[in-house]
């Protein structure tokens, strides 16, 4: 009889555990819901090759600029041409966008700050067509389907908005970023 009693006691302990397990399974089934997985993406054009020397493009505004040539407000040096060649673009690439970023001058915000020792001098950058290319500016060029490339033609010069430029170095850095479509 003792065995029967122990047996019943053991069954009584297993029954609540079994009942709780069954409730958990039923509850988990009621928490299951149908849902969908949305998958998105964008295919962009493969990059082109940018034909620039190691270390970047160096634009020499001149080693013998006379301070007297920048003594008058609004005076500037001669333009120096810059050509950035983009080539070897995939056949599906139709355009390239170049974005320019640098430190804007505090006085002439559409120009770049001269970080060299010459004072009262800004660095002016334009497209070859004459559009200002200040900080954050973009240029968009179509990719020639025959050559699979394009050239971004620009020009730079030293400019003195206030005049009275002092002798010293002219230095500036502009970062170019490219996006292809």
Please tell me the distance from the alpha carbon of residue 105 to that of residue 166, in angstroms, as a whole number: 17
- pLDDT for position 29: 53
- Kindly report, residue by residue over 49-106, the tens digit of the pLDDT: 998 888 889 999 999 999 999 999 999 999 999 999 999 999 999 999 999 999 999 9
What DSSP assignment string belongs to 61-111? Answer: --S---GGGG-STTEE---EEEEEEEE---TT--EEEEEEEEPBPSSSTTS
- pLDDT for position 30: 54
- pLDDT for position 43: 78
Select from 50, 45, 83, 46 the least CA-distant residue to 149.
50
- pLDDT for position 25: 53
42 in a structural domain: no
- Confidence band of 119 (pLDDT split at 50, 70, 90): very high
Residue 95 β-bridge partners: 142
- Kindly report, residue by residue over 142-177, the tens digit of the pLDDT: 999 999 999 999 999 999 999 999 999 999 999 999
Same domain, 130 and 169: yes
Same domain, 24 and 93: no
Q: What tokens does 146 get?
A: 């025959």
Same domain, 18 and 80: no
Same domain, 71 and 157: yes
Same domain, 5 and 68: no
Same domain, 24 and 109: no
Counted domains in the chain: 2
Q: What tokens does 88 get?
A: 């070897």
> Residue 68 maps to which CATH number?
2.60.40.1090
Please tell me the distance from the alpha carbon of residue 15 to that of residue 119, in angstroms, as a whole number: 91
End-to-end CA distance of the chain: 87
145 in a structural domain: yes
- Confidence band of 37 (pLDDT split at 50, 70, 90): confident
- Structural domain range at position 10: 1-32
Of 14-18, 29-33, 58-62, 175-179, the range with the lowest mean pLDDT is 14-18
- pLDDT for position 3: 35
Same domain, 141 and 111: yes
Q: pTM for the full model?
A: 0.73
125 in a structural domain: yes
Position of tokens 């958990």? 24
Same domain, 87 and 54: yes
38 in a structural domain: no
Same domain, 65 and 28: no
Same domain, 147 and 59: yes
Burial of residue 60 (CB within 10 Å: 0-12, 13-18, 19+) is: exposed
- pLDDT for position 79: 97
What DSSP assignment string belongs to 110-140? Answer: TSEEP-SS--S-EEEEEETTS-B--TT-EEE
Q: Rounded mean pLDDT of 31-40?
A: 80
148 in a structural domain: yes
């Amino acid at each position: 009889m003792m065995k029967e009693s122990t047996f019943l006691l053991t069954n009584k302990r297993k029954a609540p555990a079994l009942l709780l397990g069954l409730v958990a399974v039923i509850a988990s089934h009621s928490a299951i819901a149908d849902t969908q997985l949305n998958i998105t993406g964008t295919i962009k054009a493969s990059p082109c090759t940018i034909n620039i020397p190691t270390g970047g493009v160096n634009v020499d505004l001149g080693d013998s600029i006379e301070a007297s040539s920048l003594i008058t407000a609004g005076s500037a040096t001669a333009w120096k041409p810059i050509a950035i060649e983009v080539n070897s673009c995939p056949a599906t690439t139709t355009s390239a966008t170049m974005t320019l970023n640098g430190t804007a001058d505090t006085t002439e915000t559409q120009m770049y700050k001269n970080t060299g020792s010459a004072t009262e001098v800004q660095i002016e950058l334009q497209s070859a067509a004459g559009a200002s290319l200040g900080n954050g500016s973009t240029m968009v060029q179509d990719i020639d389907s025959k050559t699979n490339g394009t050239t971004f033609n620009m020009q730079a010069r030293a400019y003195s908005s206030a005049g009275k430029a002092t002798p010293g170095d002219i230095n500036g850095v502009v970062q170019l970023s490219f996006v292809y479509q």
